[in-house]
Amino acid sequence: MKNLVAGVDIDRVLTSCALVDEFGKIYAKGSFSTQDSKNFRDYVARLKDEIVDLANSLDTPHTITAVGIGAPNSNYYTGEIENAVNLAWKGKLPLAQELSSIFGNKPVVVTNDANAAAIGEMIYGGAKGMKDFIVITLGTGLGSGIVVGGNLLYGHDGYAGEAGHITVVKNGRECGCGRKGCLECYASSKGLRNTAIELLSGTDAPSKLRKIPLEKLNSKDIAVAAKSGDPIAKKCFELTGEILGEALANLVAVSSPQAIFLCGGVANARELILTPTRRAMEKNILPLWKGKVKLTLSSLEYENAPILGAAALAIKEIEKRNVVVARRKIF
């Protein structure tokens, strides 16, 4: 009998699910529209059906031991999604409790996507064997999963690690959180796009980006232009890397990580973002850590990284519970 876990990644548009083993092998994968369920309980039932359908599609004898979920604004301690601006359902949503209750009381654990990515990197990726590292997700916003002593840093309330909301520019760009100058306003796909718009409006210099309507311009367009040598597009990544690298130097002073991993859409630009970020981090880092902290890209496949991270979260939870049971037997 093969033990599998279900990994679930929830975003505004799509919910992706996979059945995964302890080595990161995906046995079945599927997805459905997050937006189709207007009622939260209907969504939970739809999620349960998707996992069951995936399980029924397998010929391999198996059992699903736990479910791990990466979702916006989710709290590991409470198992709730709380006022996620990108989801249709508002308030505190008891996702872990609801899904577990209709799933035979199997363990269900939730956290945000960056935390899930960090656990995925530790179990399946480049952070194997590491006890102290940071994963930075560069998507629409900026998320961070901080691992200290082999455990995710959750804080007293479950929301620790919001590096995207560190202030990096006083009275800077307005952030969706209601503050100004947050890191994710500059180091994210949205931030990269806004940097491009500012540069394009501040000069008459020729650029391939001028051929793209501003309302359609995205980080992928900027990366393509930069790779072709477009000076304004390259400048976008330079400026983004400078701000991100300086912020990472500050994070190093807090948790002293062995490595920092970048993942997400902006990280797909690879050296375009990695090189200026590394340069700025080394320039601003305390001499105590100069040359000691590895800055690299996630080794997880971009397409599967979110669900592998969620699956890893479930595996980590099973390990924790097994340790607790073993201690109870001893004492």
Q: How many CA atoms lie within 13 A of 251 on its CB side?
A: 35
Question: Are 104 and 139 members of one domain?
Answer: no
> For the chain, what is the mean pLDDT?
91
Answer whether residue 204 shows pLDDT above 50.
Answer: yes
What is the mean pLDDT of the segment spanning 253-272? 95
Residues constituting the chain: 331
Question: Are 130 and 107 members of one domain?
Answer: no
Asked if residue 119 belongs to a domain, the reply is no
- Order of strands across the sheet that contains 259-263: 151-152, 142-148, 133-138, 259-263, 294-297
Position 146 confidence tier, pLDDT thresholds 50, 70, 90 = very high
- Residue 325 burial (10 A CB sphere; 0-12, 13-18, 19+): exposed
Question: Are 45 and 164 members of one domain?
Answer: no
Question: Are 173 and 81 members of one domain?
Answer: no
Quote the number of domains for the chain.
2
pLDDT in tens, 269-327: 999 999 999 999 999 999 999 999 999 999 888 778 889 989 998 998 888 776 544 44
- Tell me which DSSP letter residue 4 carries: E
Asked if residue 314 belongs to a domain, the reply is no
Asked if residue 327 belongs to a domain, the reply is no
Position 330 confidence tier, pLDDT thresholds 50, 70, 90 = low
Assigned token pair, 280: 């700025």
Domain that holds residue 269: 126-297
Of 111, 145, 175, the last residue of a domain is 111
We report the CATH number of the domain holding residue 25 as: 3.30.420.40
pLDDT value, residue 326: 47
pLDDT value, residue 305: 84
Question: Are 15 and 135 members of one domain?
Answer: no
pLDDT value, residue 286: 95
What is the mean pLDDT of the segment spanning 247-273? 95
pLDDT in tens, 87-102: 888 889 999 999 999 8
Answer whether residue 227 shows pLDDT above 60.
Answer: yes
Beta carbons within 10 angstroms of residue 148's beta carbon: 16
Beta carbons within 10 angstroms of residue 177's beta carbon: 14
- Residue 215 burial (10 A CB sphere; 0-12, 13-18, 19+): exposed
Number of H helices, E strands in the chain: 8, 13
DSSP 29-86: EEEEEGGG--SHHHHHHHHHHHHHHHHHT--S-EEEEEEEEE-TTEETTTTEEE--TT
In whole angstroms, give the CA distance from residue 188 to residue 67.
29
In whole angstroms, give the CA distance from residue 35 to residue 14.
8
Answer whether residue 159 shows pLDDT above 90.
Answer: no
In whole angstroms, give the CA distance from residue 138 to residue 247.
14
- Max mean pLDDT among 32-36, 233-237, 297-301 falls in 233-237
pLDDT in tens, 52-78: 999 999 998 999 999 999 988 899 999
Question: Are 290 and 192 members of one domain?
Answer: yes
What is the mean pLDDT of the segment spanning 32-58? 92
Question: Are 32 and 132 members of one domain?
Answer: no
Answer whether residue 328 shows pLDDT above 80.
Answer: no
